[in-house]
Amino acid sequence: MKIINPEFVKSAHTIEDYPYNHLPEIAFAGRSNVGKSTMINTILNRKGLARTSSKPGHTRSINFFDIDNKFYLVDLPGYGFAKVSEEEKEKWQGLINDYLHYRENLKGIVMIVDARHKPTGQDKMMLNWIREFRIPKIIAATKADKLSNNEKAKQKKVILKTFGLTEEERFTFFSAKTAEGKKDIFSFINQIIK
Ligand code: GTP
Ligand code: MG
């Protein structure tokens, strides 16, 4: 797939803010600082389109990107950042729940975890929501460039086991540094939008 003109459309804080269209949408979910925005930039080959940060908790709204008027990519706010108030956490839950529940355009989710770590309780909660809503998904373990092949084999087992992933549930490693896994994410997106 050739990407010609990906554009940031808007940031949404409520359902009323969602852009109106009939294009299929693929969202990127995961912990704060895991690399959601970086993954979007990597697959689009556009550094800096989705804003990234070394400070966790950067993306606090739902960000919509129009990809050549064919489909949308959506950068979801990250969870699990320790230094947020209860109020902030509830706000996050509300944002994500509303989006999963009401966004008819939503056709697929890339659920991102850190390849180096065991998925957290919140990762499991997020995955279970995706399962409950029956949204097609792929699990992507990112920052794979930070692991050796041995460590990757070990971590893959930990992640599959912690999530209780079945054969039908897709999994891939990913790295923004080496572009590993880019093909898998694209084949997932292609399957969704065709
Ligand atoms: P929030 O918006 O806070 O939820 O974070 P995010 O999930 O969008 O993370 P972001 O893309 O901003 O990346 C966080 C940090 O991880 C940045 O410093 C990135 O450069 C780094 N990073 C992301 N992906 C990779 C990767 O594949 N490899 C390595 N080595 N670093 C990465
Ligand atoms: Mg981000």
For 62-85, write each residue's pLDDT tens digit: 999 999 999 999 999 888 876 778
Q: Which atom of ligand 1 is nearest to the CA of 178?
A: 27
For residue 29, which of 86, 84, 108, 117 has the smallest C-alpha distance? Answer: 108
Q: Which atom of ligand 1 is nearest to the CA of 142?
A: 27
What pLDDT sits at residue 93?
A: 87
- Nearest ligand to the C-alpha of residue 112? 1
How far apart are the CA of 39 and the centre of ligand 1, in A? Answer: 8
Question: In angstroms, what CA-CA distances link 109 with 54, 68, 85, 146?
Answer: 23, 19, 27, 24
Residue with tokens 């309780």: 121
Q: Is 114:142 a contact under the CB 8 Å cutoff?
A: yes
pTM for this model (two decimals): 0.95
Burial category of 182 from C-beta neighbours within 10 Å (exposed 0-12, middle 13-18, buried 19 and up): middle
pLDDT (tens digit, 9 = 90+) per residue, 135-159? 999 999 999 999 999 999 999 999 9
What pLDDT sits at residue 58?
A: 62
Task: Decide which of 3.30.750.210, 3.40.50.300, 3.30.565.10, 3.40.190.10 is the CATH code for 6-193.
Answer: 3.40.50.300
- Cα–Cα distance measured from residue 69 to residue 67, given in angstroms and rounded to the nearest whole number: 5
What pLDDT sits at residue 89?
A: 82
How far apart are the CA of 35 and the centre of ligand 2, in A? Answer: 7
Residues with C-beta less than 6 Å from any ligand 1 atom: 30, 32-38, 52-54, 56-59, 78, 142-143, 145-146, 175-177
Helical H runs in 45-176?
86-102, 121-132, 149-163
- Nearest ligand to the C-alpha of residue 36? 1
Q: What are the structural domain ranges in the chain?
A: 6-193
Q: Which atom of ligand 1 is nearest to the CA of 53?
A: 12
- pLDDT per residue as tens, the chain (194 positions): 889 999 999 999 999 999 999 999 999 999 989 999 999 999 999 988 988 776 665 667 899 999 999 999 999 988 887 677 888 888 888 999 999 999 999 999 999 999 999 999 999 999 999 999 999 999 999 999 999 999 999 999 999 999 999 988 999 999 999 999 999 999 999 999 98
- Cα–Cα distance measured from residue 89 to residue 84, given in angstroms and rounded to the nearest whole number: 7
How far apart are the CA of 145 and the centre of ligand 1, in A? Answer: 12
